């Protein structure tokens, strides 16, 4: 079981802190199923309450063979906060192990349950054969920098120091590279349509692509090999590629935008693209209504979107909204396929 140590300090207006997670009895934690996690003790940094979720067998099927780890905001203070997090595997001297330091750039946390992390933090095979697992124990250090005003301050600094600089055209150049296919070294066959891309760019944007192209699975994705994807629509994969290269999504409105956001949420979770996942969550919260609430609640449960799940439940607390949602096909699907989720929903509504 894990034990914990924490410390924090204020540096240049940003509160920095760290939390030391001791995993004791590692072999026993492996008895959990995929998606099963152990929650650390809560700790305070930057005036907010956090915890770590440790998944000894990965957060989903994409993480099989890995330990996954996530930082989670626990409190419900109605203010956004921005945090940069670094997870370090430690050696016996308490120093970070080279190659096993992973950093999440500043990300926005808005509601209790918001979280970000790494699906492929440590390969279990590597850990179990290494000198870092001693007496069935090892340590992970989580370093956090927290600011409630980072975005505003950064924008102000950028305006004052880069006023004369031309706007960046990196996204346009990368978008042109995707369209022209120059230097492309990987091909995807998606429901009968072919897409060419660059493995290094995909790997830089997605930990899952990085593992497939440069990790233990790299032999199956050598140069010239065509990767088949049979469970995704071509237009969704095209939008995913476009986001990877340009950080932008196609212009859509209404129901079309909702459907694309739903599919891209699944893709973002599949390829561990947290920024895209957050964008999709924001879109689905905006479009939440009686027609989408049940389907969106199921998606939130499937893909561990705690903020989106909470938004759905809050929407359903209105008797009028609940009556309308119960008349939809999405609610019938929820009843038949997700009885545990239905039971949780009933419990939340009964407590309103």
> Given this model, what pLDDT does residue 163 score?
38
| Protein fold of 2-152 | 2.60.210
Give the right CATH number for 288-352 from 2.40.50.140, 3.40.190.10, 3.30.420.40, 1.25.40.420.
1.25.40.420
1: pLDDT strictly greater than 70 = no
Note the pLDDT tens digit of each residue in 199-233.
999 999 999 999 988 876 564 555 557 899 989 99
Strands 38-39 and 14-24: unpaired
Q: Which of 47-51, 109-113, 154-158 has the lowest mean pLDDT?
A: 154-158
Residues of the chain with CATH 2.60.210.10: 2-152
Residues of CATH 1.25.40.420 domain(s) within the chain? 288-352
CA dihedral 169, 172, 177, 180 (to 10 degrees): -140
Model confidence at 5, in pLDDT bands (50, 70, 90)?
low
Dihedrals phi, psi of 296, to nearest 5 degrees:
-65, -35
Instruction: Scan for tokens 């950080």, then name that residue.
Output: 247
d(C-alpha 206, C-alpha 243), whole Å = 11
193-197/186-190 β-pairing:
antiparallel
Nearest residue to 121 via CA among 215, 228, 257:
215
Contacts 24+ apart (CB under 8 A), 56-61: 56/26, 56/29, 56/30, 56/32, 56/124, 57/30, 57/32, 57/33, 57/124, 58/34, 58/119, 59/34, 59/35, 59/117, 59/119, 59/304, 60/34, 60/35, 60/119, 60/269, 61/34
Question: Model confidence over 272-287: pLDDT tens digits?
Answer: 998 888 889 888 888 8
Instruction: Phi first, then psi: give them for residue 190, nearest 5 degrees.
Output: -120, 105
pTM of the model: 0.54
Contact yes or no for 325/334 (Cβ under 8 A): no
**pLDDT tens digits along 231-252:** 999 999 999 999 999 888 887 7
CATH architecture of residue range(s) 167-269: 2-Layer Sandwich (3.30)
Mean residue pLDDT of the chain comes to 84
The pLDDT assigned to 164 comes to: 40
Calculate Rg over the CA atoms of the chain.
22
Within 10 angstroms of residue 100's Cβ, the number of other Cβ atoms is 19
* Confidence band of 76 (pLDDT split at 50, 70, 90): confident
Residue 100 tokens read as 């096993």
């Amino acid at each position: 079981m894990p034990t914990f140590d924490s410390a924090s300090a204020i540096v240049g207006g940003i509160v920095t802190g760290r939390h030391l997670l001791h995993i004791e009895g590692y072999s026993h934690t492996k008895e959990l199923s995929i998606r099963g996690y152990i929650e650390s003790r809560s700790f305070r940094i930057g005036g907010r309450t956090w915890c770590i979720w440790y998944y000894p067998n990965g957060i989903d099927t994409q993480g099989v063979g890995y330990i996954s780890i996530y930082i989670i905001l626990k409190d419900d203070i109605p203010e956004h906060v921005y945090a940069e997090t670094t997870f370090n595997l430690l050696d016996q001297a308490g120093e970070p192990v080279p190659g096993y330091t992973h950093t999440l750039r500043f990300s926005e946390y808005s509601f209790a349950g918001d979280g970000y992390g790494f699906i492929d933090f440590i390969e279990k095979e590597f850990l179990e054969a290494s000198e870092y697992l001693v007496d069935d124990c090892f340590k992970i250090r989580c370093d956090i920098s927290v600011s409630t005003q980072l975005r505003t301050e950064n924008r102000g600094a950028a305006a004052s120091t880069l006023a004369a600089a031309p706007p960046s055209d990196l996204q346009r150049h990368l978008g042109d590279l995707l369209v022209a296919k120059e230097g492309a070294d990987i091909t995807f066959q998606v429901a009968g349509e072919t897409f060419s891309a660059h493995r290094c760019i995909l790997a830089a944007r997605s930990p899952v692509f990085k593992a497939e192209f440069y990790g233990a699975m790299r032999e199956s994705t050598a140069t010239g090999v065509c990767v088949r994807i049979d469970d995704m629509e071509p237009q969704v994969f095209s939008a995913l590629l476009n986001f990877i290269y340009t950080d932008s999504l196609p212009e859509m409105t209404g129901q079309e935008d909702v459907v694309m956001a739903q599919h891209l949420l699944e893709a973002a979770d599949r390829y561990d693209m947290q920024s895209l996942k957050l964008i999709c969550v924001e879109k689905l919260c905006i479009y939440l209504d009686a027609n989408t609430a049940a389907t969106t609640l199921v998606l939130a449960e499937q893909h561990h979107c705690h903020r989106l799940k909470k938004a759905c439940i809050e929407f359903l607390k209105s008797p009028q909204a609940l009556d309308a949602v119960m008349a939809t096909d999405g609610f019938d699907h929820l009843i038949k396929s997700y009885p545990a989720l239905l039971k949780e929903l009933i419990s939340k509504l009964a407590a309103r």
